[in-house]
């Protein structure tokens, strides 16, 4: 079965601390992986994506993610969190083909404490 | 930067009524999608649309649902006879090829 698991429902991080959000996937074909962020009242904003090449990908807002095929993981990281990073983060997987469905994880809510 | 827009932002309707949710995809995109997110649950794929035809649909997308591109800019999702369980956030997305860009969503409340 195709699925995405985000094991952490809610994470609280101090401002300035590092962050890692976990994502594991199960997908029958070569996965095309995404991280999206949703701020309150906003839509899903694309942070970064990975299909092939360098397994460490850089995204917007200082985020990066590392693809590990052996672990079926695509974890999102940020070295120093800002208060404005508080939001819900979604990992998604799809095929490298237009018009196909993305499968989303349940999301991780990030709170940032001062 | 081009964005996907959706209207209305919030729609309240009575059970059994028809609703139409509207989306304006990014102008040079050719593929269009609808997803929904029931409160507290995952974002779920409903349907994708290309060249005036449905490309792929999920089991959620039954005969109650339909999609249309009525003109060169809009993409709509119609729910014929709403049920309580249709209450959700509905997201439209578009893609030029494989990367989907999402709109802000329409929150549908069925009473």
- On chain B, the residues whose CB falls within 8 A of the CB of A43 are 4, 6, 91, 102-105
Question: Using the 8-state DSSP alphabet, how is residue A101 labeled?
Answer: P
Where are any strands of DSSP class E within A39-72?
44-50, 56-58, 64-68
Mean pLDDT calculated for residue range A31-37: 96
Report the gap between the CA of A28 and the closest CA in chain B (Å). 17
Distance from CA of A78 to the nearest CA of B (A): 22
CB contact under 8 A, A105 and B42: yes
pLDDT values of chain B reduced to their tens digit, one per residue, 111 residues: 779 999 999 999 999 999 999 999 999 999 999 999 999 889 999 999 999 999 999 999 999 999 999 887 899 999 999 999 999 999 999 999 889 999 999 999 999
- Rounded to the nearest angstrom, the gap between the alpha carbon of residue A58 and the centroid of all alpha carbons in its chain is 12
Half-sphere exposure of residue A29: CA atoms within 13 angstroms, side-chain side: 11
Q: Kindly tell me if the per-residue pLDDT of A41 is higher than 80.
A: no
Cβ atoms < 10 Å from Cβ of B27: 9
CB contact under 8 A, B48 and A103: no
Torsion B17-B18-B24-B25 (CA) sign: positive
Average pLDDT for A17-22: 98
Phi, psi of A84 (to 5 degrees): -75, -10
> A102: which DSSP letter?
P
Determine if the peptide bond prior to B8 is cis (ω within 30°): yes
Chain A residue numbers with beta carbons less than 8 Å from the beta carbon of B53 are none
Q: How far apart are CA A102 and CA A91, in angstroms?
A: 10
């Amino acid at each position: 079965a195709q699925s995405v698991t985000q094991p952490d429902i809610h994470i609280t991080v101090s401002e300035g601390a590092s962050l890692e959000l976990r994502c594991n996937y199960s997908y029958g074909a070569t996965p095309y992986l995404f991280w999206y962020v949703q701020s309150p009242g906003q839509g899903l904003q694309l942070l970064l994506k990975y299909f092939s090449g360098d397994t460490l990908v850089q995204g917007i807002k200082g985020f990066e993610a590392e693809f590990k095929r052996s672990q079926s993981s695509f974890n999102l990281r940020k070295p120093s969190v800002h208060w404005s990073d508080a939001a819900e983060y979604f990992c998604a997987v799809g095929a490298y083909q237009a018009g196909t469905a993305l499968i989303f994880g349940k999301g991780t809510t990030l709170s940032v404490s001062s | 930067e081009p964005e996907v827009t959706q209207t209305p932002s919030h729609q309240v309707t009575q059970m059994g009524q028809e609703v139409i949710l509207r989306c304006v995809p990014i102008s040079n995109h050719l593929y269009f999608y609808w997803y929904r997110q029931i409160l507290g649950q995952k974002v779920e794929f409903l349907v994708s649309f290309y060249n005036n035809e449905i490309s792929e649909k999920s089991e959620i997308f039954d005969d109650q649902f339909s999609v249309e591109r009525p003109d060169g800019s809009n993409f709509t999702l119609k729910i014929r006879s709403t049920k309580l369980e249709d209450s959700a956030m509905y997201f439209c997305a578009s893609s030029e090829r494989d990367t989907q860009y999402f709109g802000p969503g329409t929150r549908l409340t069925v009473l």
